[in-house]
Structure 1
Amino acid sequence: MIGMYDDVVLSFSESKAEEAGMARSMTAFGRCSDIVGGKSITVELKSVNNRFLDCNSRVPRAYGAVEERIKPYLQSRGVVRGKVDVFVSVIRIDGGETELALDGEYLRRYIELLRQMRDEYGLRDDISVMTVAANRDIFTETESGATEQDTEDIMSVISRAVDTFIAMRIAEGENICRDLCKKLEHLGALVGEIEREEPRMNEAYRARLEAKLRAVLEGRGAGAPDEARIITECAIFADKVAVDEETVRLRSHLDAFGAALSSDDAVGRRLDFLVQEIGREINTIGSKVSDVHMTDTVVEMKSELERIREQVQNLE
């Protein structure tokens, strides 16, 4: 699986970006602006990392039906994780009527806060209509007679904005996957160092243990030590510091990690789980080894794994 993306060249049309079948980044931006049905429509999407799909939309009130469709539409396009903010602007350019309305709830709260400021800070009581009217947020502009066709026009622009949004997610995901493959290859090389050094470490540990055991027995004046017993005891204790099982499991986790990177599914959570499992095996190896060189290798493995963990957090 190592280097599996080296020869991959992404080529996809924006309208089919989600069909590329590759791990995606959760960080992306998309935008589309067009004039449709006498309306100037602009849609922007931006997203950051999040454990689940959290979609926040800002749509003109007259087009509330659009807001209800945005999250399900994103899900239908394969967006399953990330905090996504969607901004929709609609300006009529065909002479449609605009109605100005008062946001009563906002106005009530605004006046309450003004009075609170007056009482708390001893300000002069000069709250007037002109004072309140200076805050443009108390007014809302709505387009009269919003139709189903208006909704479809806006959704068509949203669809194209999502095309660019997903294209960026895939492009960023490819970059992350390339980087993860390099880090995975380095981690695999470090596991190889552990595997090569383990026999030497085990033999050195067994020799030290045997020498200490002989010294203890001879110090007690117990006569000639039982060679078979010494060899057996040393073998038992030496087995406790063997890390071959851990390296086998590490290899398995690294293979699973590489396979997940090429999956069509959202793999961020699976990769996060594998990072935890890899970390557990590395920690176990670290607790068993006493050789200075192998200890340094374990420290380097932990550092590389932490860099992998940071990148995995960006994947959907």
Structure 2
Amino acid sequence: MPSFYREKELNLRKLIADKLERGKIDFSIFVEITGEETSTQINKPVVKEYLKQLKDIVDGDTTELLKMAVRFPDALSTEREDIDENEWKTILNEIHAALNHITEYRLDEGRVLEADFKNRIATIESLLEEVIAIDPERIEAVRERLRKGVEDLKEKVDENRFEQELVYYIEKYDITEEKVRLKNHLEYFMSSLNSKDSNGKKLGFIGQELGREINTIGSKSNYAPMQKLVVQMKDELEKIKEQLLNVL
């Protein structure tokens, strides 16, 4: 901004920061100065020095050399009076109007993002319900696969010991905790989304937790139909994470 507005800089920074809260903001004030608003004077010592140097170089009419000298840097000094408070009031009104337009645009964009998030969270919830529904089927499939593997070895086994080992093995693939935590995180995401506060960073953190639970379910599933559902959940979550970068 022009030097004569520098005293307003701190107040402007606070105004913009309070209104916009987050983001990288570029702000500029450009002023076109007219003759009526300024006092322009000839910098006599500078012009005289230019004339002296020109005369040392060429012989010429003083008037012509003077025309050249006043075009050189610093030959004229332009000064402006102190800030015109009426002018500043007009500028400030325009700044407030611009900030209000930005806020309105953000709100419009936010409504679109909100609808998108709700749809994607609902999709993940629906996929989670499918995961919960097929989990008993998955456990039975793992049990049968292990039993068939033992039978293929043509070895006699102690059924009690086999059942103990089977229970231990299946417990390693139990996803009960992950299902509960994922459901809780989805509910927490929605409650934070509906909050009146600025929650962009908070939603980002919750998104990370969602990803952690989904990834754990995927690594433990050991069952193709469930892994397919996990891939779909990951796809929805990635789209959410991309859009979270645009949330205040």
When residues 99 and 275 of structure 1 are mapped into structure 2, their CA distance, relative to the original with a 3 A threshold, is: farther
For 1:1-316, list aligned pairs within 5 A. Answer: 59-77=1-19, 79-91=20-32, 95-97=36-38, 143-213=80-150, 215-216=152-153, 219=155, 225-316=157-248
Contact 2:114 2:193 in 1 (8 A): yes
| Aligned-partner residue type, residue 184 of structure 1 | I
Contact 1:183 1:304 in 2 (8 A): yes
Distance in structure 2 (CA, Å) of the matches to 1:101 and 1:73: 40
**Residue segments in structure 1 that go unaligned for 5+ positions in a row:** 1-58, 103-127, 134-138
C-alpha root-mean-square deviation of aligned residues, in Å?
3.1
Distance in structure 1 (CA, Å) of the matches to 2:103 and 2:246: 14
When residues 311 and 227 of structure 1 are mapped into structure 2, their CA distance, relative to the original with a 3 A threshold, is: same
| Aligned-partner residue type, residue 197 of structure 1 | I
1:42-97: CA deviation from partner (whole Å, max 9, x where unpaired):
xxxxxxxxxxxxxxxxx2222112322222112333x2210111232344689422
Question: Which has more strand, going by share of residues?
Answer: 1
Contact 1:63 1:146 in 2 (8 A): yes
Contact 1:99 1:144 in 2 (8 A): no
Distance apart, 1:266 and its partner CA? 1.8
Runs of 4+ aligned structure 1 residues displaced above 3 Å come to: 89-95, 98-102, 128-133, 139-143, 147-153, 213-216
When residues 182 and 292 of structure 1 are mapped into structure 2, their CA distance, relative to the original with a 3 A threshold, is: same
Does the residue aligned with 2:29 lie in a helix, a strand or coil?
Answer: strand
Distance apart, 1:272 and its partner CA? 1.0
Of the structure 1 ranges 150-159 and 171-180, higher mean CA displacement relative to structure 2 is found in 150-159
| Aligned-partner residue type, residue 83 of structure 1 | K
Percent sequence identity is: 30
Does the residue aligned with 2:25 lie in a helix, a strand or coil?
Answer: strand
Distance in structure 1 (CA, Å) of the matches to 2:190 and 2:42: 57
Matched positions, count:
222
Distance in structure 2 (CA, Å) of the matches to 1:213 and 1:99: 100
Does the residue aligned with 1:146 lie in a helix, a strand or coil?
Answer: coil
Contact 1:66 1:151 in 2 (8 A): no
Distance apart, 1:143 and its partner CA? 3.8
Contact 2:131 2:229 in 1 (8 A): yes
Distance in structure 1 (CA, Å) of the matches to 2:11 and 2:165: 71
Structure with higher Rg: it is 2
| Aligned-partner residue type, residue 67 of structure 1 | E
| Aligned-partner residue type, residue 30 of structure 2 | S
TM-score when normalising by structure 2:
0.78
Contact 2:38 2:81 in 1 (8 A): yes
